[in-house]
Each structure stands twice: as structure tokens, then as C-alpha cells.
Amino acid sequence: MASLRRLLPLRSLLLGKNLSASGTCEGLGGGFRSYSASLSPEERILKLEEDDQLAEDDIAKIRAQFDAAKQSFFKIPEAVKEMPKMHPKGIYVNKNLKLEDIQVYGFDYDYTLAHYSSNLQTLIYELAKEHLVNELRYPDSCLEFKYDPTFPIRGLNYDKLKGCLLKLDFFGSIEPDGCYFGHRKLTRKEIEQIYGTRHIGRDQARGLVSLMDFFCFSEACLLADIVQHFVDAKLEFDASHVYEDVNCAIQHVHRSGLAHNGILSDPQRYLVKNVRGDESAATLSQDAEAKGEETFLVDKLSISFCGWRDAVYARDLTGITEDSLGHRDSWRELFDVVIAQANKPEFYTSEHLFRYFLQL
């Protein structure tokens, strides 16, 4: 290319072509470098050679910068290892927040103060299954269902229109191995036949319900079992009604206190020791009290669960020891206010006043 550009001015002279006042070569489509018409052919050639050298120098600089960036990229894993670790007891937020401006701190109970074993999912599943049969008149054969801990995962969606359990990626598309009808995994071809495409549009998304938290494992498994039961029995069913019934049964287990009563009956089976309980709730509560700040606990737990004073629970399961309680007689006294049966998330938008106060 460089040799071609060097020959063009000479070729234009040999062919009798004229250069415009700006020096652009006419008759060759334009676009070539412009030089003063007063330059001789030899001077133009020298000028082109100088420009070529400058271009080559620029390319060399860019290549050197690229190679340096490439080497830096390869060094990232080692650099990450050398970065200081995050403080394991620190509190981090995803926006700027001045804790000195915060006067009230709130705590959740489940999976914050109390941590549960996988046995809890089986308990919720069994209680919800019994409610479906005894109260909603599902077939007695449903009592034979067993909770499968290997089946559900976090982040599933249930399609109330088609009865499928879906796992969507970040862009709202069904993952190739993430679509089940009952317990049968659908192929990509079957997914496209049902949905037209793997991407879930806005209209289709309206029919999805999210099963995001840990308590949804038992719900997802029970939904799949019910759908599979109807498929095996070759019975027609309404996927929306199946969801409403299963969700109703799950909510009944939580709100009626059946789940918490089951936990109270065998705490060692369902609760896992929170080795950091003493370092989190008790310490934060003491710090807040010393600064004149307030704390509260809000959860759907029952009044009877709040009233549980079992020392084994307080010491061996939550990690809240007698030393960390200080002058307090109960773990509830770590908080200025304890709100039970909160009926979250409706609690946050409800305009109802608290109906009564119970001193435990």
C-alpha cells in the first residue's frame, strides 16, 4: 500500500492529471492526502514517506499499548489474590449510606437470627400436602408424594398458564436445561413449540410467579408433583388453579403456626446453630443501645414461637449466650420492638393499626 501511494503522484504527472489547489488528485476518485501544489514530485514522495513512517510509529505505539493491556489482563487473577479481604464482620451496602444518620435498625428472623436445616423443607412439604388432601379434597394418592431435595433450586418461576417450572437467565430467556413440566425436562424443540421462542416476552411474563427464597423449595417440588400426578393420570387440569391451591396450602402452613410448632417439637432437627449469632444480633443491639438507637424484629413467626424461652435454643442454636444477653432475661429483649405475625409483605403496605399488644 505504501509503494502504491508513492507511485500515485508520479503516475498522475505521467498521465497529465492536474492537482487541485488543495493538492487532491483528480480523476482517481479523490480521498488521497493533500499537499500544496507548489511541491515538486520528489518533495511529495518524501512527504509521503515521512507520513508513512509516522503512521507506522503510531501503529507500533498502539500495538505496544495493546500488548501491555493484554499482559495486565493475564495478571488479574494474581492481583485479585493480593487484594485485601473484605472484613467478615463488616456491613456492606450497594449505595452510599451514612450509618450515623440511621436511628432504627430492623432484623428479620428466618435465615437471619435463625438458620434451618434441609429437614424444614420436608416438614413444610408434608404439612402442605396434608392440607391439600384434607382441606382442598385432592386425591388421597397425593399423600404418597415425597419431598425430593435434589429437584428444586433457587430462582425458579412457575407458569400459571402452561404449568411449567422455568429457570430464566439474566436476559429473560429460558435456560436450555431449565424448563420442566412436572418432573420431565422439556427439550429445546418442545420449549419452542410451547413458547414460540426461548425468550419470555412481557405478555408471557405476566403469567409467571417467582419462587425465589429458601421457603419456596418445598412449594416448587409440590407444584411439580401435582402436575406430574395429573399427567400420569391423564387428567385435564388448570395450571393456575394448581398454583393457587399449592400456594394456599404453603401459606396456611406458615400463617397457622404449623411450621413453627413443628420446629418447636424438635428444634435440634430443624434448627442449625448460628455460630455468628452472638457476633451479629447481640453485638449490633448492644452498639445501637449504647448510641441511643433502636432495634426491632419483624417476622411472620407466631406469638407462641416468640414466647419460647428454651435456653438450649438461645445458647446452642442462635449462638446468643448469657454473656451476650447481659442484663436481659430473653433474646427478645435484644430488640426494642418485636412484631410477630407480620404477614409480610402485605405488612409494609397495609393501613391497619396493630390490634393488640401482648407482654410475654
Amino acid at 154: R
Give the whole-angstrom CA distance, residue 29 versus residue 37.
18
Left if phi > 0, otherwise alpha if psi is -120 to 50, otherwise beta: which for 128? alpha
Under a CB-based contact definition with an 8 Å cutoff, are residues 278 and 317 in contact?
A: no
Distance from the Cα of residue 350 to its chain's centroid: 27
How many helices (H) and strands (E) the chain has is answered by: 16, 10
Give the whole-angstrom CA distance, residue 148 versus residue 140.
19
Query: Has 110 been annotated as catalytic?
Result: yes
> What string of DSSP letters covers 296-360?
EEE-S--HHHHT---HHIIIIIS---HHHHTT-SSGGGGSSEEE-S--TTHHHH--PPP------
Q: Which one is catalytic: 51, 52, 110, 316? A: 110
Q: Which one is catalytic: 51, 52, 108, 336? A: 108
Q: Please provide the size of the chain in residues.
A: 360
Under a CB-based contact definition with an 8 Å cutoff, are residues 326 and 283 in contact?
A: no
Give the whole-angstrom CA distance, residue 283 versus residue 292.
14
Residue 256, helix vs strand vs coil: coil
> Of 52, 50, 20, whose CA–CA distance to 36 is shortest?
20
Q: In what order do the strands lie in the sheet with 337-339?
A: 104-107, 294-298, 337-339
> Of 298, 250, 291, whose CA–CA distance to 108 is shortest?
298
Residues tagged active-site: 108, 110
